[in-house]
Each structure stands twice: as C-alpha cells, then as structure tokens.
C-alpha cells in the first residue's frame, strides 16, 4: 500500500472521463488499497483513481468507522430522487476550498465490487452526495462545475491565492 501523489486542480486529467475497468485482479485490489491510503493521508472521505492520475472508474469512500472503506468499480447512477439537498463539498484535488452544491437527496447506483460481482446500493444524505460527486469525477466533471459561474470564479481565485501564499 502506497500514498500516491494527488493530481491538483486545474490539471486537465481531472476533466477527462475515466475508462471502464475490465480486469478484476490483484492490480485492481492494489489500486484500491493505494486509493484508501492516499485518501486517508489527504485527508478526505472519498477519492477516485483519476485523483491520482489513473483514468479508471474506481471510487473509494470511507464515511465512518462503522462501515469502513467501500470500493466501487465502474459505478453508474441508476436512479435519482426528485428531492434535492444542499451539501458542502470539496476535493482532495483542490484542498482548502469548499462550497455548497445542490444534489439529489437519494440515489441508486450499480457497480462491481473488487471480486467482479455486480452490486446495487441505495443511498441518501452524505453517502448519496458522495456517490454523485465521485461519479461526476469519473465522468470528467469536477465538482466546481456544479456551481454558478460567479461562485466558481471566486473559489478558483481563492485557491490560486492560497497556492501563492504557501
């Protein structure tokens, strides 16, 4: 297990759709373990393979100690609720800035586990927000694209200023 360097915004790799995983092997399990270590070190609660420069559809979430880390391979949103919620979001690729993003309150996703078995999961609240946020990233949609142009420009300026001040 290794902590990998995180791709930082505005790296263009964050805007590229990730490729479908086809090999469910030790390499995939090693990638998932590295993602978990990297996410914990960042720190964060969710990370995708594109965050470390690997254009593959892999997500690792760790929202609480009770459930532990969960890995989603090739996740797809199958259903979204009409109800919406606002939730504060950020990214390991843009540390130090966050803002409220409107998302569906509930979602159902399908995905493969690390053993190559098809799974389905319904989620609400924070988990639903994370599913949408990370699947967006796999599709090449960085979270700030969900903000108004004015909010997005303000956040980018703040992030750039933070980089200059370091």
User: pLDDT tens digits for the chain (166 residues)?
Assistant: 799 999 999 999 999 999 999 999 999 999 999 999 999 999 999 999 999 999 999 999 999 888 899 999 999 999 999 999 999 999 999 999 999 999 999 999 999 999 999 999 999 999 999 999 999 999 999 999 999 999 999 999 999 999 877 5
CB 49 within 8 A of CB 18: yes
Of 59, 123, 128, nearest to 92 by C-alpha is: 59
**Residue 117 burial (CB count, 10 A):** 10
Q: What is the pTM of this model?
A: 0.96
CB 31 within 8 A of CB 58: yes
Of 133, 134, 94, nearest to 11 by C-alpha is: 94
Annotated catalytic residue, options 62, 89, 121, 134:
134
Of 25, 69, 24, 19, nearest to 49 by C-alpha is: 19
- The reply to whether 78 belongs to the active site is no
């Amino acid at each position: 297990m290794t902590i990998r360097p995180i791709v930082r915004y505005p790296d263009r790799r964050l805007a590229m759709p990730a490729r479908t995983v086809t090999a469910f092997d030790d390499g995939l399990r090693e990638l998932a373990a590295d993602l978990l270590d990297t996410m914990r070190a960042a720190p964060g609660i969710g990370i995708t393979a594109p965050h470390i420069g690997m254009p593959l559809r892999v997500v690792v979430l760790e929202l609480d100690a009770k459930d532990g880390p969960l890995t989603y391979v090739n996740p797809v949103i199958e259903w979204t609720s009409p109800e919406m919620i606002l939730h504060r979001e950020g990214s390991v690729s843009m540390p130090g800035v966050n803002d409220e993003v409107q998302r569906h309150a509930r979602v159902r996703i399908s995905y493969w586990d690390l053993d190559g078995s098809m799974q389905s999961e319904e989620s609400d609240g924070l988990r639903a927000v994370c599913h949408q946020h990370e699947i967006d990233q796999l599709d090449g949609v960085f979270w700030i694209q969900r903000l108004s142009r004015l909010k997005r420009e303000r956040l980018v300026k703040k992030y750039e200023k933070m980089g200059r001040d370091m």
